[in-house]
Amino acid sequence: MSRVINGLKENGTPYFFLLPCIVILGALLSVPLYKVVEYSLYDNVIVERNPTFVGLQNYSNLLTDSAFWSASVNTLIFTLGSVIGHIIVGTGLALLVNAEIHPRAQTVFRSLLILPWIFTAVVVALNWQLLLNPFGVINYGLTEIGLIDTPIDWLGDPAFAMWALLLISTWRGYPFIMVSFLSGLQSIPKELYEAAEIDGAGFFAKFWHVTVPQLKPVIYGVALLDLIWTFQLFPLVWLTTGGGPGRSTEVLSTMTFRQGFVDFEFSQAATTAVSILIISAAFTILYLRNEKQKI
Amino acid sequence: MSKIEIKKLVKRYGEHQALHGIDISIPQGEFCVLVGPSGCGKSTTLRMVAGLETISGGDVVIGDRVVNGLKAKDRGIAMVFQNYALYPAKTVYNNMAFSLQLSKMPKPEIAKRIADVAEILELTPLLDRKPGALSGGQRQRVAMGRAIVRDPEVFLFDEPLSNLDAKLRGQMRAEIKRLHQRLKNTIIYVTHDQVEAMTLADKIVIMKDGRIEQQGTPDEVFHDPDTLFVAGFMGSPPMNLIECFATDKGIKLPSVEIACDMPSAVRPGDKLVFGIRSDDIRPAEDGFEGVSISANVNLIEQLGTENLVHFSLGPDEMIGKTGGRTRITPNQEVSFTLQMQHAYFFDPETGRRLR
């Protein structure tokens, strides 16, 4: 015993510093994680004092529920659409703010374009609701220039709600990609562009043959990370469309919330949450493997 | 293949003027080396010929065309960069093929050209590799191959050997020289290494602070320097340069008077810089003819075939030369012979040579 204590005295300092982190991770991550998996195996947890163990019944319910499948499809559309939107807008803007212009203007544009990232989701959601409102600025602008005849309820019309949501999500998420790509762009040696210039490459050839291959490792890692984040994104969807109208923008995260805190079906909510967990974990493993390769 | 004329070339970066009217004329097939310390404007000049820097004044003429406004790709040039600038994601083959692919050359012809060039440069077994899997010397050869396949009118080299170790640098230097003899292209080659300049060049242009100090054959700039700077820059070890006064019989150094013929423009009492190469300072035992001085040896640098002898002459340190089998040792009083017919004199104010 004294040897253990002595060993700790000698080598324990790093563990001592790690302790708060371990406690927080254990208490705030592992316990809820365990609980959610446990809940998904019982019936009527939380509302009933003595829930009954039902095994995988909740999972078979989930897989036969058409709402789950439509939410899955919506999640897929929302996630892929957002990530593609982030990459296109983020890449374009990264190229623009990487251009050689007056240094002060460069700083101003870089700072301005990062702004969407620093607002909380609530502020973003409320502002876009105002903008996209039938009586909002966007409808006013579009009718003024004659693109539409009557105002459209962008977030309330099942035909447009997902598109509007993707617009908001793209606006909100591109700065992360932009900043990551910008640092990637800045690390590309100038001589490569000069060599390509002498070889006769135009703007697109340079982009395709120099920029993209050089950014590839960054693109892959950042896109996966974005995929993981967007896949489980909740506040932006919940606060703009709330999954509606009807179920037209219902994603797995809003479905989980609805099952739990609207319908009080906590077991079913836990089951849906576990399905999100499994898919997110798969992406995360891919991401970690990619990062490891880079090292 | 064409000649290059650089006429009154000026480069300004805002307030700062980097080049003050550079004039260089390079006949077709000549190997021209721009040499000078860093910041002298040699790379800027090269990049302006390449079309990578805008021209603030003057003209660049390649062949019979003024190319000032032309894009880099339309100037008929190919360039080899200091750190090679190979496309890391492309194979050696595709690195070399890129410019030809962009110019829409038929595939079989591209393949044939690359095969030929790869043969010359011994790159054939490496064609499928990516630059990351090559050694420094191999990358250097790929960079040269990429330039050669385009069959350009003019080759531009921007310090291409400075990232290689000494031995490889010697090999590549010879390879570049051989290549030039074979292809006979017009070449502009930038380096800060005066040995490279001496060995490669048909014409050396020595630059300093955005101006040309002197241009001429390696022999001319080495044996007949126009300025103090050129005298000190060319040659290793550098020329011995010592401040002195003219007398009616020769020169007066702080510790010794040396009798010699003086340039006609010099009057007794004038302040001068006296220059002499270490090759022309020999220990008396080597049996050369000249003016004898006696000095204390500080240091022997052994180079194998020859030894450099550092000695003090009053407050000045000088370097002489002797054979590799000398028995001179440090802290020994030795008599040296100065071959004063090979001495140079410079005006300390203007740095111009006094003839």
pLDDT tens digits for range B131-179 = 888 888 888 889 988 888 888 888 899 988 888 888 888 888 888 888 8
Indicate the residue among B206, B227, B248 that finishes a domain: B227
Per-residue pLDDT, B255: 81
- B324 within domain boundaries: yes
Residue span of the structural domain in which B60 resides: 4-227
List, in sequence order, every residue forming a beta bridge with B53; answer none if it has no partner: none
CA distance A23 to B300: 69
- B233 within domain boundaries: no
Q: Considering only alpha carbons, which residue of chain B is nearest residue A192?
A: B85
Half-sphere exposure of B283 (CA within 13 A, CB side): 23
Secondary structure of chain B as H, E, C letters: CCCEEEEEEEEEECCEEEEEEEEEEECCCCEEEEECCCCCCHHHHHHHHHCCCCCCEEEEEECCEECCCCCHHHCCEEEECCCCCCCCCCCHHHHHHHHHHHCCCCHHHHHHHHHHHHHHCCCHHHCCCCHHHCCHHHHHHHHHHHHHHCCCCEEEEECCCCCCCHHHHHHHHHHHHHHHHHHCCEEEEEECCHHHHHHHCCEEEEEECCEEEEEECHHHHHHCCCEHHHHHHCCCCCCEEEEEEECCCEEECCCCEEECCCCCCCCCCCEEEEEECHHHEEEHHHCCCCEEEEEEEEEEEECCCEEEEEEEECCEEEEEEEECCCCCCCCCEEEEEECHHHCEEECCCCCEEEC
Q: Is the domain of A103 the same as that of A123?
A: yes
Using one digit for the tens of pLDDT, what is the confidence trace for A127-149? 888 888 777 788 788 888 877 77
User: B40 to chain A nearest CA, in Å?
Assistant: 20
- Closest in A194, A199, A210 to B99, CB measured: A199
Q: Is the domain of B32 the same as that of B77?
A: yes
Q: Is the domain of A169 the same as that of A268?
A: yes
User: B97 to chain A nearest CA, in Å?
Assistant: 10
User: Based on the structure, what is the number of domains in chain A?
Assistant: 2
CATH number at residue B25: 3.40.50.300
Indicate the residue among B227, B250, B274 that finishes a domain: B227
Sequence-distant (6+) residues with CB within 8 A of A31 are none
CB contact under 8 A, A201 and B90: no
Q: Is the domain of A1 the same as that of A81?
A: no
Q: Is the domain of B75 the same as that of B189?
A: yes
CA distance A141 to A124: 20
- Contact call for residues B68 and B235 (beta carbons, < 8 A): no
Residue span of the structural domain in which A133 resides: 42-294
Per-residue pLDDT, A89: 92
CA distance A136 to A142: 10
Q: Among residues 140-199 of chain A, which lie with CB inside 8 Å of chain B?
A: 189, 191-192, 194-199
Q: Is the domain of B135 the same as that of B272?
A: no
Q: Is the domain of A68 the same as that of A209?
A: yes
Sequence-distant (6+) residues with CB within 8 A of A69 are none
CB contact under 8 A, A194 and B99: no
Per-residue pLDDT, B204: 93
For the residues A21-26, what does the mean pLDDT come to?
85
For the residues B43-59, what does the mean pLDDT come to?
89
Residue A108's pLDDT band (cuts 50, 70, 90): confident
Q: Is the domain of B24 the same as that of B72?
A: yes
- Contact call for residues B234 and B279 (beta carbons, < 8 A): no
Amino acid identity, position B304: G
- Contact call for residues B78 and B29 (beta carbons, < 8 A): no
Q: Rounded to 5 degrees, what are φ and ψ at A240? A: -100, -60
Q: Is the domain of B113 the same as that of B166?
A: yes
**pLDDT of A275 above 90:** no
Q: Is the domain of B216 the same as that of B256?
A: no
Q: Is the domain of A21 the same as that of A151?
A: no
Using one digit for the tens of pLDDT, what is the confidence trace for A203-259? 888 889 888 888 888 888 888 888 888 888 888 888 888 777 877 788 888 888 888
- Contact call for residues B162 and B118 (beta carbons, < 8 A): no
Chain B residues with CB under 8 Å of a chain A CB are: 50-52, 71-73, 77-79, 81-83, 85-90, 98-99, 102-103, 146, 150
Q: Is the domain of B187 the same as that of B63?
A: yes
Q: Is the domain of B45 the same as that of B128?
A: yes
Per-residue pLDDT, A295: 54
- B131 within domain boundaries: yes
Using one digit for the tens of pLDDT, what is the confidence trace for B183-217? 888 999 999 888 889 989 999 999 999 889 999 99
Q: Is the domain of B274 the same as that of B198?
A: no
CATH number at residue B312: 2.40.50.140
Q: Is the domain of A106 the same as that of A20?
A: no
Percent of chain B with pLDDT over 70: 100
User: Based on the structure, what is the number of domains in chain B?
Assistant: 2
Q: Is the domain of A186 the same as that of A103?
A: yes
pTM here is: 0.77
Q: Considering only alpha carbons, which residue of chain A is nearest residue B50?
A: A198
User: A291 to chain B nearest CA, in Å?
Assistant: 19
Q: Is the domain of B323 the same as that of B350?
A: yes
